[in-house]
Structure 1
Amino acid sequence: MSTKYTRGSFQLMKSMNRSIILNMIRKQGPISRADIAKQSRLTPPTVSNIVKELINTKFVIETTQGTSKGGRKPTLLEINVDYFYVLGIDVGTTSMKFVVTNLFGEVKDTTNLDIPPTPSNNDLLATMKQGIHALLANGNSDPDKYLGIGVGMHGIVDPVNGISLFAPTFQLHNIPIKEELEKEFNMIVNVENDARAMTLGEYWFGHGNDADNMVGVNVGNGIGAGLMVKGRLFHGENSLAGEIGHITIDLSGPKCPCGNYGCLQTLAAGPAIAERAIKELKSGKKSIIQDLVEGDFDRVDGRVVYEAACQNDEFSIQLLNQTGRYLGIGLTNLIHTINPKRIIIGGGVSKAGTFLMEGIKETIQTRGLTDKAKETSIVISKLGEHASAIGACVLILEEFFAK
């Protein structure tokens, strides 16, 4: 065996052991060196050496002493949670959300920027750079303490090369996000589809941390899903997995920007809710929506429908229930295809969760193939409006807490 290969194998083993220990401290800390050795089956000297390295690099700190089992009290270890930061971006269809989190995904700073109408590739990249510079300039933390930048981008993404292959809302192709941001900020940049980023965020810090097989569904101006199989994001052969917004629900339904008719997102995404509301209001249906928008139907959007529903407007409640039924059909298809333990619904439309859920559960109860399928856990995102941006941060945290 060559010296080079031996050295490479040793470095790999050391890196794996480091990840095992770091992850154990992240999940179980405060924890003692002895408990790490016992649970990981690594030798005490190996644990001691790696812990010393982790303390020197500031990822881990020694903390309050544990309970003695005879003899000296053990010193416990925990993640130095607020020493390093990560920056996450959620690139939506009309705006970008930027967050700064610590190593436990807790949001420390945020900003939002509007995306220019009909943007070019350069416009999108310029908006990303502007938001990042704004957060770095806030002075809340030293730029040298940032581990990297994660980007959750709607549409089809090549996560290996960090390229937005196709952003359907803007009809843009091949945006070199990773290359451009790494050049500008000299940090690691990882890029993923926004729904997959949301799913990853929920898996680490939200409602998915006990479910290795789960689906995150992002319902906003479009609809996408992240599929988690055995604790790993599933991308499919050409990074198309999870595009459930383009499952056909109604062959003679409305035309979708993708060119097909009756896609799920033409019936259940935010713009679809608004369009259905406007059509029915113009045909004479009564609702307090007219008062909320002062008779200007151009101001009707999903948020207004939700506000009306919160004021017990029967028209809006029924409209959101119907939207839930459409979503329920898409989710039933997912249940029958993937059979996840849990489905987590996020994105702007998920704010209407209480009104949607009735229709979703009713449809799954009616259409589910088995009793177990009908009992699939459906919950609203724990991470809320920042779910995709926090998930984008996890794209970087994964590099340091590699599982």
Structure 2
Amino acid sequence: MPTPPRPLTVRTVAIPEGDPRYDQPLLELLPDRSPLSWVRRGEGLVGWGCAARLDPSGPGRFAAADDWWRAWCEQVRVDDEVGLPGTGPIAFTSFAFADRPGRSVVVVPEVVVGCRDGVRWITTVGEAAEHPVRPVGHPGRVRFSDGALSADGYRDAVAEAVRILRTSDGTGAGDDRERVRKVVLARDEVATTSAPLDPRHLLGNLAGRYPSCWSFAVDGLVGATPELLLERSGRRIRSRVLAGTSWPRPGVGAAELASGLLGSAKDRAEHAFAAASLAAELRPFCGELAVPEHPEVLRLRNVLHLASHITGELHEHAANNGVAALLRLAAAVHPSAAVGGTPTSAAVALIGELEGVDRGRYSGPVGWVDGAGNGELGLALRCAQLEETADGGRARLFAGCGIVAASEPDSEVAESDAKFRPIREALDSDA
């Protein structure tokens, strides 16, 4: 009788302080090929190599990913000497926004290096090979052009959305139960480069300029998101909901911008839709859920957002029987009103009519999950999908705005330009 194969070993060990192989910022450990990242303020996870991969698609993509990930974790032997969130088996994930066929990604790296509260560790799957770290490549000359939807086309789409939102039922269908009160419309832009695109060039620039955001890279999708869709740690869950935006203008001080955003009825209404929709989807899983009565202002280099920090504790049965594993929770809350609209089904249908942009994985959940169903998922915002071309590189940039009945098309175009700024600058910069 043949000897059964030995199970694959996932081993996590602490990195001694001062170890010259890893005594540098996480992002500087990454290779130029297929880097994986989830880093904020210098802490988080980076990875490389591919021990296993799944490319789910369609409306069942979250459940398929969760089933596959659980099965994979059950087949491996785990030797975890650190025992912190982010140790043991780890998969990086990035999901398509839409339910229609479109590739999502779950990648199990061969190597993960993590840092939390000053503690560093390395996780390896099997016998991971050494990886060369080459100098970060510069993209060379960068040229920007319209994507599927130009600024003028976006202005027209917003104007039509506002017209629909201002009708008696919000859809033109005469069904008040499906009245659209908010819809999120996106536009895209294309950057072509004279040299191949090194994802680490964008990651380093984004992390340096936006330290309070989560700098991510999964399968060529690179960005720095300010929005945390869900974090799960045991029975505790957390979310940072963003909706309602302002941006710097000549002659307007930071305090005035923040005060104006907090006092804007239009932005407060847009934010309330986003926070309420997320809370409504989470409540069936939670014994406790705290939603702030009023939002605060999150200040970033390019914009200001209204932000609400929602926290909760899962029901014990939900936490223990798998129905509230992170990827299952993501299926319940995505798309939130922050990236889709309110109510969800009618808003997503309106996006299909007006947007004309294949979002791919833009505005879908992105992040990491561990073997216990814990982890962090943000929304893939302020990002670009990178690809190589015969004579350089190509990046597809995305930006989106929440549209309500009080929205003004010219203002929404200006807001989308402000949201393009992080990736535009990260591409076209030496530092």
TM-score, L = length of structure 1: 0.27
Normalized per residue, the structure richer in strand is 2
More contact order relative to length (CA 8 Å, sep ≥ 6): 2
Larger Rg over CA atoms: 1
